[in-house]
Structure 1
Amino acid sequence: MVNATQVLFFTLSAFFDTGVFKYLYFIIIISLYIVIICANLLLIVVICMNRSLHEPMYLFLCSLFVNELYGSTGLFPFLLVQILSDIHTVSAPFCFLQIFCLYGYAAIQFHNLSILSYDRYLAICYPLQYNTRMTSNKVALLIALIWLFPFLAIAVLLSLSAPLQLCGNIINTIYCDNYSIVKLACSETRVNNLYGLIYTCLVVFGPLILILYTYIKILKVCYSGSKPTRQKAVSTCTPHLASLLNFSFGCFFQILQSRFDMSNVPMMLRNFLSLYFLTCQPIFNPLMYGLQMSKIRSLCKSLIFGKT
């Protein structure tokens, strides 16, 4: 039996020998990272510099873009090093740190999307009471909860995983995953599995239930309301729904891959889909919100091209 104190590093077995193509993959990944940084940073600067965008919806979007920078930084530098390396290993402390970063990114993203849906619900269903219900203090409190609650939940998750006695150190992924480490355990993992279920309900299903509830209410108002009300709902909710579906698809596949045997799926496809919610979402959101929302689009043009 190998205990936790003897596992000094983990081997990431999902990487495969790419030969000379590793330099091509390196260029593709670093290009994606640069695009993500530039796109999200541009929108953060636009929202922060323009007082006209200091409204609840745009502040929640700013939190969303900051989280995408955070999640990308937790993955891309590590991935770039692994692509150029011939030995795909990672130290145990860094592995748990990466889990904290990536799980934090996913949890904050779900909570941020749920708060955005709640904000749209108040704006569309209670337009006259919106300013009294969504005050600046409430916005600050919600943003603080979006970030603090997931970090506390993940800290508990990792405090249960770190002391486990492990019988191996090979993880069949291209980045560190908590459930993959738990599967290596020789000791009892019932507490880990129970908390993992609670964590999933709090982080994934809780926000999704809130989103479902708010959109049912929004649809009722749209069907019974005037044409301008429907147009407002469509223009503000379309980017949010597209972002939610895109992110949920990536997370759903990653959960399936970590829980079930996917050996019949080609390794390259598995790797691509496991990276989907970490790479496509930070590119998709700035494009969707930047192109769909005319206020952000016009301010981005004026910042880039110097037009007033």
Structure 2
Amino acid sequence: MTQIVSSLAEISDRYKALFVDLWGCVHNGITAYPEAVAALQTYRANGGVVVLVTNSPKPRAGVTEQLGQFNVPSDAYDTIATSGDSARSAMFRGAVGQKVYFMGEWQRDAGFFEPLKLLDHPIHIERVSLKEAEGIVCCGPFDPMADPDVNRPDFLYAKQMGMKLLCANPDIVVDRGEVREWCAGALAKLYTEMGGESLYFGKPHPPIYDLARRRLQELGHDVPDGDILVIGDGPHTDILGGMGEGIDSLFISGGLAAAETKTSHHPHHESLNDYIKREKINPTYTIGRLR
């Protein structure tokens, strides 16, 4: 049974580091949540380490720039692990071939194809048409408001050609302000359901947690999993990810699940428990909003 808490401060002294989700937790895709920022600043001031762990397809530098635009101050976190960096590493190792068909918004996602200096011998990646491609790199839909099913004809061809789809953002949906948008995870899910092979590198899959631990080590912190707390609003990304890694979690019920859990300031107890059972998740703690 999850423990409902009113603030991060109630439990934060039990953990040396936080793996914190961004969208729906620290910001809403437009601007920061002031209470969340203040909670993280206080945690850091008391000696804790904050790793922002996000399913953004952007490289770390791109997310840092975006956080500034959203008014998330740099003293609210120590470092960032993105699914984009994890997926880029796989792409430049040849996970889906050298000639790739790109899905996403190029103006937003161009950084995904920037050279990766961490690898000794990255392969050269060439963006080509679907007919010429060896595999698919998916950072998101071409139109985030369109039903993912519009991609079915292209996916049918790709599946028949044996292409793998590299998913740089396993999120199914996000809320940008009051508007819900489809993410790359919805396309990868469709491709898998059609019989294609999708490769995932963000939450809840292990590679991004391995990257988050390396980010901690880069800062000189060797923190055991028992001293880490995962925080986020995604039941099937943040919470399942924490469960899979054996790490305690704090579920933000006022994010993606606000309606189902009847969360205003705090979640409705019975609705929350029904939701947890239905989604087969087991968060250690639950809070309405990060504060």
TM range (shorter): under 0.3
Q: Which has the higher strand share?
A: 2
TM-score, normalised on structure 2? Answer: 0.27
Q: Which has the higher contact order (CA 8 A, sep 6+)?
A: 1
TM-score, normalised on structure 1? Answer: 0.26
